[in-house]
Amino acid sequence: MAEKRGYRISDIYQGGYSSLDPSNNYITAGSLGMTTDPRSANILQEVSLKLSSGVKQVEIEAVSPEIFDSIPKQQLREVNRLSKLTGVDVSIHAPVSGMNVSGITQQGYSETDREAMERKVADILIRSHDLNPEGNIPVNFHSAEGIPGSQLLPPSKRKLGEKYQRMIIINQQTGRLAPLEPEIRYYPEAEKLEPQRLTPEQELDIHNRTEWDNSISQVIFNKERADEILEGHQLLIQHLFEDLKTGKLRQGEPLSPEQEAALRHYRNAEAYLQDLNKQINTFFSRAYEFGTEHQREILKTYSEKFKKDLADSPDLFLQSKAMHNLLHGLKNPQVAPNLYVPIEKFAIEKSSETFGKAAWDTYKKLKGKNIPILTIENPPAGFGLSTGEDIKNLVEKSREQFVKKAVADGGLSENEATKQAEKLIGATWDVGHINMLRKFGYSEKEIIEETKHVAPLLKHVHLSDNFGFEHTELPMGMGNVPLKEMMKKLGKKGFEARKIVEAAAWWQHWKTPPFQETLEAVGSPIYGMKMAPYWSQAPGLYQGYFSGYGQMFPQVHYETFGAGFSRLPQELGGQVQGAQGSRMSGRPME
């Protein structure tokens, strides 16, 4: 900035409204990268094309499983050689479609499907290793695919105990999905028949207790049939067994009609009770498996009493009474298990098992050397596991699964396993995906706050802009993604992490690399000294060859005689557009 005679001359153009403040933070051009065309398996050609834009980071966009499987392993190795020659870092976006890492589909949950995904994630990590056998290549996975997400209320609209606008729940045993929304109810016992609004959280509690109570009531109803048989023929049955016990009646001797009827009723009641005992075992097991620690302690006392009652009950009458006591204990609301839970809670448990075990299997196969980094990305808002808190919980749980597996297999100590888990499993933050919370009523400030959850776990950043409603992918600065504020939340890790520009919509319509537009939007310095000028000021730096007395160069002279060089601008003696030759010979100038 020049200063003369009491006034100063400063840069006229100070950058776009969304540009980062270059005096404090820098997104350097070297930390930015682009993706390959997700439609092409010819990644060697794609990487070569992207390098011509000057990027230092390239992400293989293998989002389609068919495209990923079509990439020859020789090309993976050739891309590795190319990256070494050019000094470019390579990462990979793992397939998205069909990657139900939680094992949840529209038909419900399948542990078999989840285990298949676990093997697939490990296979993708191993194959990606060929892209960088001497380093730790980031391999990016979506947290969930194909599962619906619950709709959260914006934090500013939440009341005490209320978080959901629409909750998707899942039965932990059957995998069945169901939606819960706020509901208006009228209760006949109320003093005034006024509408009572139930939140999805309250609906979930009622749903769990009602379904459990109905199931136990059905078993109690079946037991009453056995009791009717026993009580209706109690004297006959007791006399029959008393005669057998005292020897008045020996086994194999013919029975009287009354005795035959008593034995028939006894066997019917015995069949009912045997079936009833199986149902009781099923419900007790379900309550214990899905119950809290407090509920399990209560169930342990029920179990001890039931075993004692059976030991003291040699006949069906006392056995029926023991079952009656246990059933009414299970009907107690205090032991009703949470069979239905929000889908996010269940998906985090299952997805973390997939990611954690797959990361450990990869670690073992590669013998702990140059392991790919598994990064977990937030999908577009509205899908399952798409918030900052979801990603935080999933990454932490995946690390726990890695540690648990590593220690159980005897491969690593808990301390070393924890270190490796933190190194090899982290978060990818997609700023465009989280911006789509706007369509659910989130304010810009609330969207920015989501970023703080993933900041400590960050490994990777995806840059794309949109307007908060559609999954549009534009260069930064062309939508309303608050990148500047998000980068502040990410802090030092965010500025140091590689940042991949995902701009599929730009490629589709404008057919040009989005790199310069991104550099302008993020205010990167033009030169490597991390000082002015910045790309956000580039439009103001375009100058013509002029001075106060007109053009500095004799344009007519150069138009007449040429400059001795080809393809120069007219100001420097280049050929006049449309000219057929010089003024002297009529022939084109050499």
pLDDT the model gives residue 87: 92
> Within this chain, do residues 334 and 350 fall inside the same structural domain, yes or no?
no
In a domain, 494, yes or no: yes
Percent with pLDDT over 70 in the chain: 80
> Within this chain, do residues 28 and 99 fall inside the same structural domain, yes or no?
yes
Percent with pLDDT over 90 in the chain: 54
Place of tokens 């776990």: 457
> Within this chain, do residues 483 and 361 fall inside the same structural domain, yes or no?
yes
Among 181-185, 203-207, 344-348, 584-588, whose mean pLDDT is lowest? Answer: 584-588
In a domain, 263, yes or no: yes
pLDDT the model gives residue 86: 92
In a domain, 117, yes or no: yes
* Strand duo 183-185 + 425-430: pairing: unpaired
Q: Is the pLDDT of residue 37 over 80?
A: yes
Mean pLDDT, rounded, for 101-112: 88
User: Nearest-CA neighbor of 177 among 206, 207, 210, 219?
Assistant: 207
Q: Please tell me the pTM assigned to this model.
A: 0.82
Mean pLDDT, rounded, for 207-225: 86
Tokens at 106, concatenated: 């529209």
pLDDT the model gives residue 559: 59
Contact 59, 500 (CB under 8 A): yes
pLDDT the model gives residue 488: 93
What's the structural domain count of the chain? 3
* Strand duo 164-171 + 177-180: pairing: antiparallel
Mean pLDDT, rounded, for 511-533: 82
pLDDT the model gives residue 582: 45
> Within this chain, do residues 217 and 318 fall inside the same structural domain, yes or no?
yes
> Within this chain, do residues 440 and 368 fall inside the same structural domain, yes or no?
yes
Place of tokens 């060929």: 130
Q: Is the pLDDT of residue 102 over 60?
A: yes
Residues 44-92 have pLDDT tens digits of 999 998 888 888 999 999 999 999 999 999 999 999 999 999 999 999 9
The torsion angles phi and psi of 556, rounded to 5 degrees, stand at -60, -40
116: Cα within 13 Å, side-chain hemisphere: 10
User: Does residue 175 come out as left (phi exceeding 0), alpha (psi in the -120 to 50 range) or beta?
Assistant: left
pLDDT the model gives residue 571: 52
User: Nearest-CA neighbor of 255 among 272, 269, 273, 267?
Assistant: 267
User: Nearest-CA neighbor of 444 among 474, 486, 392?
Assistant: 486
Residues 556-566 have pLDDT tens digits of 555 555 555 44
Q: What angle do CA 285, 289, 295 make, to 5 degrees?
A: 95
Q: Is the pLDDT of residue 545 over 90?
A: no
pLDDT the model gives residue 588: 47
Tokens at 348, concatenated: 């985090």
| End-to-end Cα distance, the chain | 43
Distance CA 576, CA 14 (A): 35
Among 206-220, 236-250, 260-274, 445-459, whose mean pLDDT is lowest? Answer: 236-250
Q: Cis check for the bond before 533: say yes or no (omega within 30 of 0).
A: yes
pLDDT the model gives residue 166: 95
User: Does residue 101 come out as left (phi exceeding 0), alpha (psi in the -120 to 50 range) or beta?
Assistant: alpha
Q: Which amino acid is at 565?
A: F
Q: Is the pLDDT of residue 227 over 80?
A: no
pLDDT the model gives residue 14: 46
SS in 3 state form for 62-106? CCCHHHHHCCCHHHHHHHHHHHHHHCCEEEEECCCCCCCCCCEEC
In a domain, 176, yes or no: no
CATH number for the domain spanning 391: value is 3.20.20.150
pLDDT the model gives residue 191: 80
* Strand duo 196-198 + 340-342: pairing: unpaired
pLDDT the model gives residue 161: 80
Which of 338, 365, 387 terminates a domain? The answer is 338
> Within this chain, do residues 108 and 250 fall inside the same structural domain, yes or no?
no
Distance CA 172, CA 214 (A): 18
Contacts of 498 (CB under 8 A, 6+ apart): 31, 32, 33, 57, 89, 91, 138, 460, 461
pLDDT the model gives residue 251: 63
Bridge partners (DSSP) of residue 148 are 383
pLDDT the model gives residue 1: 47
In a domain, 394, yes or no: yes
Tokens at 551, concatenated: 């053009």
Q: What angle do CA 177, 183, 185 make, to 5 degrees?
A: 130
For residues 10, 13, 14 and 17, what is the CA-based torsion angle, rounded to 10 degrees? 160
Place of tokens 């840069």: 11
Helices (H) and strands (E) in the chain, counts: 19, 20
Higher pLDDT, 188 or 247: 188
Contact 447, 438 (CB under 8 A): yes
User: Nearest-CA neighbor of 378 among 345, 427, 424?
Assistant: 427
Contacts of 476 (CB under 8 A, 6+ apart): 18, 463, 464, 465, 483, 501, 517, 518, 521, 522
Helix (H) or strand (E) segment spanning residue 452? helix 444-454
Residue 574: strand, helix, or coil = coil
Which of 338, 368, 392 terminates a domain? The answer is 338
Give the DSSP per-residue string, 212-273.
Answer: HHHHHHHHHHHHHHHHHHHHHTHHHHHHHHHHHHHTSS-TTSPPPHHHHHHHHHHHHHHHHH
> Within this chain, do residues 503 and 586 fall inside the same structural domain, yes or no?
no
The torsion angles phi and psi of 141, rounded to 5 degrees, stand at -120, 145
Distance CA 37, CA 15 (A): 30
Q: Is the pLDDT of residue 242 over 70?
A: no
In a domain, 204, yes or no: no
> Within this chain, do residues 351 and 462 fall inside the same structural domain, yes or no?
yes
Residues 393-402 have pLDDT tens digits of 999 999 999 9
Give the DSSP per-residue string, 276-301.
Answer: HHHHHHHHHHHHHHHS-HHHHHHHHH
Burial label, 268 (beta-carbon count in 10 A; 0-12, 13-18, 19+): middle
> Within this chain, do residues 284 and 362 fall inside the same structural domain, yes or no?
no
> Within this chain, do residues 577 and 447 fall inside the same structural domain, yes or no?
no
> Within this chain, do residues 575 and 437 fall inside the same structural domain, yes or no?
no
- Cα 488 from chain centroid (whole Å): 23
Distance CA 303, CA 307 (A): 6
Q: Is the pLDDT of residue 569 over 90?
A: no
Residues 253-270 have pLDDT tens digits of 666 676 667 666 677 777
In a domain, 175, yes or no: no
Over the chain, what is the mean pLDDT? 84
Residues 390-428 have pLDDT tens digits of 999 999 999 999 999 999 997 799 999 999 999 999 999
In a domain, 124, yes or no: yes
Range of the domain at 375: 2-151+342-540
The torsion angles phi and psi of 419, rounded to 5 degrees, stand at -65, -45
Place of tokens 């979930």: 204
Which of 285, 315, 338 terminates a domain? The answer is 338
Residue 547: strand, helix, or coil = strand
Tokens at 181, concatenated: 């929304």
Q: Is the pLDDT of residue 367 over 80?
A: yes
User: Nearest-CA neighbor of 37 among 56, 58, 55?
Assistant: 58
pLDDT the model gives residue 156: 92
> Within this chain, do residues 78 and 127 fall inside the same structural domain, yes or no?
yes
Higher pLDDT, 562 or 42: 42
pLDDT the model gives residue 188: 84
* Strand duo 340-342 + 164-171: pairing: antiparallel
pLDDT the model gives residue 301: 94
Place of tokens 């309550």: 287
Q: Which amino acid is at 502?
A: E
Helix (H) or strand (E) segment spanning residue 374? strand 373-377
Mean pLDDT, rounded, for 95-118: 91
